Amino acid sequence: MSHTVRTRFAPSPTGFLHVGGIRTALFAWLVARQAGGTFILRLEDTDKAREVEGSGQHIQDSLRALGLEWDEGVGKPDGGGPHGPYIQSQRLASYKLWAEKLIAAGRAYADPYTPAEVQAFREQAQAARQPFLYRNHRPGPDANGNLPAWDGSTALRFKSDPKDYQWHDEVMGDLHAGDEAIDDFILMKSDGYPTYNFAHIVDDAEMEVTHVIRGQEFVSSTPNYLNLYEALGILPGQGRPLLATMPHILGPDGKKKLSKRDGAKDVLDYIRDGFLPETLVNFIASMGWNDGSEQEIFSIDELVQKFSLAKVQKSGARFDEQRLLWMNGAHIRSLDLDTLYTLCQAPYDYWPPEATDYPEEYRRQILGLVQERLKFFKELPELTRFFFVDLPVDPELISGHKQLKKVEPAELKELLARSRTALETSDFSVDDLTHKLNDLLEQTGQKPAVLFSLIRIASTQAPSSPGLADTLAVLGKERSLQRIDRQLESL
Ligand code: GLU
């Protein structure tokens, strides 16, 4: 496999990384890792008005939290690598040099129009029901045959060479566009910064990027990029990167594009809530990619082995938080207890505050019991609090219970009293408790949904718990019987 693969993630520091951004980063990382290549992080900060302070750092923290370490770029030692700087606002000299090359070749010119004049052209085109093309208003050469010279105080435009294009996208397949897609776009703005359209082409060329993996918003501009590549002599097989366009991420309904209301959060928030990095990576990879089998749970190593751009789907991928919860549960179940125990205490402590008074061994037992049902670590207090605190008797647990609400209180009381007597004779080992509980079931002729629910509610005061015998064994005899007594008093 080629070792020259170089991919990059090139976010703009304009806010937190949404799942779409992370997916682009992840796929670029996977392509690089699979080929033993290089993954680059570059910050595209040429739109100063949209920049959000701290966002560059946040992006780095998010990638690191997911284990998507980069080899070159922002935040790496020694200037980030051999092609630095990796922050666009620090690369202005490069853009200027490339702009001058285009000017010298007669392929760029100073934009002579004010914004109001351009607006007037646009309105003319609209009135004539024609698409607005700036190149229809391209200024003519002067008496010496020169295009308007550029002194940096105005925008610099590309002098395009309109033509039809067909190109291959590693995900979307063969695409084409007519010459109406090509226009004289801005290379350098009058504020001295390059546009994205220009800067990314310069950077990808200087950084020897082999794969440009990015979102769909750039497809309609791709013919312009191809035209500029040609003007720069960057041709397919001779430095022009492969293009791969990611499918949209859709909301849970599978129709509209994902919005914040659909529950997609900052990945660092997911991590703080106790989602495992390996789940997030698995989940994000699954939005638009599968290996063609039924497999849904992938380790990061498996993804590195099996990922391919060719298997990324063209159509939109659904963001489904329920699936994320299920996946995290599956990853949590696959952890050994030591790892799970460590992850529940650091870097965040997820235990309910009362747990600090209890020995490690007790907490580990509890964790072993709830591991099966834990979907994210922040749920831990809700699932385990009753192991640490005697919760007050909650009458609604019985009055709101599907089965128990149909039974007369006197009968419930008698059932619970009989249960207490039976449990009193138990040594509270799981085996013995299981025995005693099954005997009780037979003797009382009750359904487990009645008898076991009653004992469970009495001994936990929680709407759910791990298996009854396991729960009672961990709570211990004294505490369990005390709690049953309190419930009896209230019935
Ligand atoms: N800065 C662009 C963005 O954040 C990057 C697009 C690209 O990867 O080329 O959308």
Instruction: Give a three-class secondary structure readout of the chain.
Output: CCCCCEEEECCCCCCCCCHHHHHHHHHHHHHHHHCCCEEEECECCCCHHHCCCCHHHHHHHHHHHCCCCCCEECCCCHHHCCCCCCEHHHCHHHHHHHHHHHHHCCCEEECCCCHHHHHHHHHHHHHCCCCCCHHHHCCCCCCCCCCCCCCCCCCEEECCCCCCEEEEECCCEEEEECHHHCCCCEEECCCCCECHHHHHHHHHHHCCCCEEEECHHHCCCHHHHHHHHHHCCCEECEEECEEEECCCEECCCCCCECCHHHCCCCHHHHHHCCCCHHHHHHHHHHCCECCCCCCCCCCHHHHHHHCCHHHECCCCEECCHHHHHHHHHHHHHCCCHHHHHHHCCCCCCCCCHHHHHCCHHHHHHHHHHHCCCCCCHHHHHHHHHHHHCCCCCCCHHHHCCCCHHHCCHHHHHHHHHHHHHHHHCCCCCHHHHHHHHHHHHHHHCCCHHHHHHHHHHHHHCCCCCCCHHHHHHHHCHHHHHHHHHHHHHHC
Q: Is the CB of 88 under 6 A from ligand 1?
A: no
49 with 128, same domain: the answer is no
What's the whole-model pTM score?
0.92
Same domain membership, residue 369 and residue 473: no
Looking at the structure, tell me whether residues 240 and 137 fall in a common domain: yes
Task: Write out the residue range of the structural domain in which residue 200 sits.
Answer: 91-246
Is 232 found in the same domain as 220? yes
Q: How far is the CA of 379 from the centre of ligand 1 (A)?
A: 36
Answer yes or no: is the C-beta of 10 below 6 A from any ligand 1 atom. yes
Residue finishing a domain among 334, 353, 370 = 334
One pLDDT digit (tens) per residue for the chain, 491 residues: 445 999 999 999 998 888 999 999 999 999 999 999 999 999 999 998 999 999 999 999 999 999 999 999 999 999 999 999 999 999 999 999 999 999 999 999 999 999 899 999 999 999 999 999 999 999 988 888 787 889 999 999 999 999 999 999 999 999 999 999 999 999 999 999 999 999 999 999 999 999 999 999 999 999 999 999 999 999 999 999 999 999 999 998 888 888 777 767 899 999 999 999 999 999 999 999 999 999 999 999 999 999 999 999 999 999 999 999 999 999 999 999 999 999 999 999 999 999 999 999 999 999 999 999 999 999 999 999 999 999 999 999 999 999 999 999 999 999 999 999 999 999 999 999 999 999 999 999 999 999 999 999 999 999 999 999 999 999 999 999 999 999 999 98
Ligand 1 within 6 A of 480 CB? no
Q: Does residue 266 share a domain with residue 172?
A: no
- Domain identity same for 161 and 186: yes
CATH number at residue 431: 1.10.10.350
- Is 260 among the catalytic positions? yes
Same domain, 75 and 135: no
The answer to whether residues 22 and 114 belong to one domain is no
Q: How many domains does the chain have?
A: 4
Q: What is the 71 CA–ligand 1 centroid distance (Å)?
A: 19
Domain boundary (246, 262, 294) is at 246
Same domain, 226 and 254: no
126 and 56 housed in the same domain: no
Same domain, 346 and 372: yes
Do residues 95 and 237 share a domain? yes
Amino acid 384: pLDDT:
98
Give me the pLDDT at residue 410, please: 95
